[in-house]
Every structure is written in structure tokens, then in C-alpha cells.
Amino acid sequence: MLKPVPLAPSSSAGYNSPVPRVSQTIRVKVLFFGRLKDVAGRAEDFIEFADAATIEQLFALYAARHPELAKYRPSVVASCNEEFAAWDTPLRSGDEVAFLPPVSGG
Amino acid sequence: MAKLPHDDIYQLVREPIDVAALARQVRAPEDGAIVTFDGFVRNQSHHRPTLYLDYEAYESMALAKMREIGAQLHEKYRIHRVSVVHRLGRLEIGETSVFIAVSAPHRAAAFDACRFAIDSLKRTVPIWKREYFEDGAVWADGELPPAPAATPRAKPAS
């Protein structure tokens, strides 16, 4: 399981902490729309990863928090920076990822 | 992305759509035809009386996708001007939710482009509607946009 690092990493970890600061933290903005927003209980979130992660892993992280999300996975399309994106897309810091249920405009 | 003619219109609005004004907007002396599509709120869904609809969008992406459709229209068809406007928020029965107008020198291209535009919009533009009934509300069934199967990252984070 992928573990996100806390949003605001505490600087009070201790001056004698043996763990060096992670320099490669990836911070992404996450958006939920339609019924996914209802299930996730939020429209927007920010999350940080200490290690490389894909959009698929990002979704899995939320599905672990909100198990009902998992059942929507087959009918979800992801976007990255406003373009439809493959699930194996690696995240980069500053990305805006959105999880989109089937669209019903018109 | 392809550059769009400056007199095209791509908008998300929260007020009623003035369809007559938009049709006038695409009209020009060098054209011979305008085809419009007026999508409005039906009073029932699967035989259940609808009270009203509520539309939401991933606004920045929806606008980008609407403009992308416009660019495709200009590339594929011999048309002149395009107007694509979608309304968001609460809409009552009979109110226009989406309006598309395409002008062209000749009718065939205008018909084809207008049809392509609404079909693409319904498949690829991130907009969702919630249907309200006497006994509750549901998110409307939609279409799954085509997404790339594998990675190549085109756009860097901005």
C-alpha cells in the first residue's frame, strides 16, 4: 500500500532524527466530480507522496479510504492537467488529477 | 492546440442561453446556411417525471474540450463560424442546456459539423447532470470518454 506523507510535514521531527528529509516529494491536486464527489465526500484534495506513484495508485489510495469508490473504478476516466490520461501515468509534482465518472452533458 | 477563429464562441454560462443572439452571431454575408442544435430539459427520464436538472462541470477542462471540438470542426468541415454554449447550475423543464450553431457557405458542411459537435460534446466534455425527481435525485447515466490506454505524457505540470 502506498503511503502518503502528511500534508504539512512537521519540522518538529527532531534535530536528531536519523531520517533525512525526503527531497523528491510529489504534491498533487486531486479533483472528484459527479457521484465520485459524493462517494469521496469531497470535491478537492491535496496529497503528497514520498515516492513515485501513478494515477492508478492515487485512485487506490482513495479507494482504501472510501471502499465504495473501488466499485466505480471500471467506469472512471482520469485526467491529468486537463487531458484524459492513462492509468499508468506517473505523477509529477504540481499535477492536477481529476477522476471523472461517465459524462452526461448536453 | 489549433488556433480558433476569433469570432467563434465557446462558453459555460449560468444564465439562460439566448439562442437567437447566438445564431445571429455566427451569421455572415459570405455564408449560405446556419445549422443549430438546441438541447433542452425534458420533462421525464425513463418515464419518471423530472422536476429539474442540475449541471456541473470540470470547468477549465470542459472549456478546453469544447474549444478542441471547435478546432476539429474547422479542420474537418468547410464551415465559417462556430458557437458552442453549455449552461450549468439548476435548469427547469424546457430550458436550453446546450446550444450549438455552425455557419457555412453550404448546408451539408453545417449539418455535418453541428452533428459532430453535439456527439463529441456528449462523449468528451466533462459535464455531469443530476436529475431531480419527486422522490430523490440521481446522477444521469453518461458516456465514458475515450482515454489513452498507455502513458506518453504530453503536457508538463503547469
Q: What is the pLDDT of residues B2-23, one digit of tens each?
A: 678 889 999 999 999 999 999 9
Question: What residues of chain A lie within 8 A of the CB of B60, using their CB?
Answer: 82
Considering the domain boundaries, does residue B151 fall inside one? no
8 Å CB contact between B97 and A106: yes
Q: Does the beta carbon of A58 lie under 8 angstroms from any beta carbon of chain B?
A: no
Closest CA to B8 of B96, B88, B117, B101: B101
Determine the pLDDT at residue B6: 86
Considering the domain boundaries, does residue B158 fall inside one? no
Q: Does the beta carbon of A95 lie under 8 angstroms from any beta carbon of chain B?
A: yes
Determine the pLDDT at residue B2: 63
Considering the domain boundaries, does residue B153 fall inside one? no
For A21-58, the pLDDT digits (tens) are: 555 799 999 999 999 999 999 999 999 999 999 999 99
Q: What residues pair up with B119 in beta bridges, in sequence order?
A: none
Q: Which residues of B122-145 are buried (b: 16+ CB within 10 A; e: fewer)?
A: bbbbbbbbbbbeeeeeebbebeeb
Question: What residues of chain B lie within 8 A of the CB of A80, using their CB?
Answer: 153, 155
Q: Which of B60, B127, B153 should we substitute to test contact with A (largest number of A Cβ atoms within 10 Å)? A: B153
pLDDT band at A10 (very low <50, low <70, confident <90, very high): very low
Considering the domain boundaries, does residue B4 fall inside one? no
pTM of the entire structure? 0.88
Closest CA to B51 of B140, B136, B127: B136
Question: What residues of chain B lie within 8 A of the CB of A35, using their CB?
Answer: 139
Considering the domain boundaries, does residue B83 fall inside one? yes
Using CA of residue B20, residue B70, residue B64, residue A53, what is the dihedral sign?
positive
Q: Does the beta carbon of B82 lie under 8 angstroms from any beta carbon of chain A?
A: no
Considering the domain boundaries, does residue B53 fall inside one? yes
Range of the domain at B49: 16-135
> Which residues are CB-neighbours of B18 under 8 A, at least 6 positions away?
none
Closest CA to B100 of B90, B108, B87: B87
8 Å CB contact between A34 and B141: no
| Alpha-carbon gap, residue A78 to A100, rounded angstroms | 6
Question: What residues of chain A lie within 8 A of the CB of B57, using their CB?
Answer: 105
- Check which CATH number belongs to the domain holding B81 and give it: 3.90.1170.40
For B25-82, the pLDDT digits (tens) are: 999 999 999 999 999 999 999 999 999 999 999 999 999 999 999 999 999 999 999 9
Closest CA to B110 of B146, B69, B82, B142: B82
Q: What is the DSSP letter of B109?
A: H
CA dihedral B137, A68, B157, B71 (to 10 degrees): -40
Give all domains of chain A, ordered by start, each with its CATH number: 23-100 (3.10.20.30)
Beta strands (DSSP E) in chain B are 9-13, 33-40, 44-45, 48-49, 52-57, 82-87, 89-92, 96-104, 127-133, 136-139
For A51-105, the pLDDT digits (tens) are: 999 999 999 999 999 999 999 999 999 999 999 999 999 999 999 999 999 999 9
| Alpha-carbon gap, residue A78 to A93, rounded angstroms | 17
Considering the domain boundaries, does residue B1 fall inside one? no
Determine the pLDDT at residue A20: 53
Question: What residues of chain B lie within 8 A of the CB of A88, using their CB?
Answer: 150-151
Q: What is the DSSP letter of A79?
A: E
Closest CA to B79 of B108, B36, B37, B122: B108
Tell me if A94 and B146 make a contact (CB, 8 A cut-off).
no
Tell me if B147 and A98 make a contact (CB, 8 A cut-off).
no
Structural domains counted in chain B: 1
Tell me if A105 and B122 make a contact (CB, 8 A cut-off).
yes
